[in-house]
Amino acid sequence: MVAPNGATRTRADHPALPVTIPQIVTTARACFDAGADGIHAHVRDRAGRHVLDAGLYAELLAELACAVPGMAAQITTEAQGRYTPAQQRAVVAAVPGAVSVSVALREMMADNDAAAARGFYHDCAARGCAVQHILYDLTDMDRLAAARAAGIVPDGPVQVLLVLGRYTDGQRAAPAELAAPHARLMERIPGADWAVCAFGPDETACLAAAHGLGGKLRVGFENNLFNADGRRAADNADRVRDLCAVLSHAGADAENKAVRRTSRDRVE
């Protein structure tokens, strides 16, 4: 899944960062051709600010369905300190055709209204809108497990996004940071459909580590502007191609090692 813009970066950070709906659609098509099969989409107002706007989301989803019909599209409820849990719930309910949404569990539970949160999660399940639970740390992991046990989050398949690092200086992700949340996830929510995103220039290495453990991957300018070799990516499609190349190379290496092991065993 490509995350091409996020909530805070602008074209001042990178001239190829998509802000308008036409720019996002063009980026989605290029990323799909490069190997991404989904897009995590933020929309912006005319001033370029992150907004939770049902009309803009509906327009974007319609344009994506026409331009890239084979690409999954996920909207977000990211609060960015501007939106309440009630506003986050309302925008999802107001977007026709939304089939996937990312929700930070800590934001949705910020008002301590368990009944409203339960209504939201169960309504999404009833409408066939898959919720990807964004988890920033081990406490969030435990919170999700507790919410499922309490029936706030319904039984059944659960999607999770593990976040490594932050935008904050000094909070750049490293592959070693995946071990603890992955182990806790396997313990507390076995069978979860899990993915990883990673902030900072080691994004590719973090995603490669997640891929090796069987996780899904979210890549793009929301989290990082640089390819594995330290070169600044030309655009989001460049990031997708770079990640695919790294994973392909890793897969070829693993296959060659397996062949060598098999040959050695036969000789022995």
Beta bridge partners of 130: 100
Rounded CA separation 88/76 (Å)? 9
What's the pTM value of the predicted model, to 2 decimals?
A: 0.91
pLDDT on residue 166: 74
Contact 68, 35 (CB under 8 A): no
Residue 53, CB half-sphere, CA atoms under 13 Å: how many?
14
Q: 86 — phi, psi (to 5°)?
A: -65, -40
pLDDT at 170: 58
- What is the model's pLDDT at position 256? 42
* CA atoms in the 13 A half-sphere facing the CB of 70: 8
Q: What is 21-267's CATH number, 3.30.70.141, 2.60.40.10, 1.10.510.10, 3.20.20.70?
A: 3.20.20.70
Instruction: Answer for the pair 66, 28: CB distance below 8 angstroms, yes or no.
Output: no
3-state class percentages of the chain: helix first, strand second, coil last, to nearest 5: 45, 15, 40
- pLDDT per position in the chain (268 positions), as tens? 999 999 999 999 999 999 999 999 999 999 999 999 999 999 999 999 999 999 999 999 999 999 999 999 999 999 999 999 999 999 999 999 899 999 999 999 999 999 999 999 999 999 999 999 999 999 999 999 999 999 999 999 999 999 998 765 556 899 999 999 999 999 999 999 999 999 999 999 999 999 999 999 999 999 999 999 999 999 999 999 999 999 998 764 544 444 345 445 544 5
Quote the pLDDT of residue 167. 60
Q: How far is CA 230 from CA 4, 47, 224, in A?
A: 19, 31, 11
